[in-house]
């Protein structure tokens, strides 16, 4: 969208927004991208909270069936669902008071992007934090 602004938003979300990330679509299925991305986020000091209908414990963190069930504040909502469902998740993120929403690679919903930004949240779309976060690390 706006390369310089987007780069700054990515930096802000990864470094300044907070360390509690709700990963929507994260289950204990090790073959899914969400599992590996969550592991990278943990390696970089993020608390990763699984949000999935099965509410499984993943990477040592208790899971919840929905964002509304998470009983503590969430800083970033990382979305690993189909684009058709992503807008609803973004709206839930706004409703629970998240500070930012991150749509993973291939997850695109321009209307949800605009609604989320209009609600005052940072938003990153069609990017992967596991790719972006090492770029921000010292010495990279």
83: Cβ contacts below 8 Å, ≥ 6 apart? 103, 106, 107, 108, 109
- State pTM to two decimals: 0.93
Q: Report the mean per-residue pLDDT for the chain.
A: 93
Domains of the chain: 3-132 (3.40.50.720)
Residue given tokens 């899971």 in the structure block: 63
35-58 pLDDT tens trace: 999 999 999 999 999 999 999 999
pLDDT at residue 2, as a whole number: 41
Query: What is the per-residue pLDDT across 57-100, written as a single tens digit (0 to 9) for each?
Result: 999 999 999 999 999 999 999 999 999 999 999 999 999 999 99
Residues 6+ apart with CB under 8 A from 102: 13, 76, 77, 78, 79, 123, 124, 127, 129
Taking the C-alpha atoms of residue 60 and residue 38, their distance in angstroms, rounded to an integer, is 11
**For residue 90, which phi and psi values (nearest 5 degrees)?**
-60, -40
Quick check: 136 pLDDT over 90?
Answer: no
């Amino acid at each position: 969208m706006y390369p310089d602004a987007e780069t700054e938003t990515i930096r802000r979300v990864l470094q300044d927004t907070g360390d509690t990330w709700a990963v929507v679509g994260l289950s204990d299925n090790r073959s899914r991208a969400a599992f590996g991305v969550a592991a990278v986020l943990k390696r970089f000091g993020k608390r990763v909270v699984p949000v999935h209908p099965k509410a499984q414990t993943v990477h040592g963190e208790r899971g919840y069936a929905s964002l509304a069930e998470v009983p503590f504040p969430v800083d970033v909502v990382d979305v690993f669902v189909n684009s058709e469902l992503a807008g609803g998740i973004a709206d839930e993120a706004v409703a629970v008071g998240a500070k930012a929403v991150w749509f993973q690679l291939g997850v695109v919903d321009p209307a949800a992007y605009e609604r989320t930004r209009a609600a005052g949240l940072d938003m990153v779309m069609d990017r992967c934090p596991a790719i972006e976060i090492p770029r921000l690390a010292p010495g990279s």
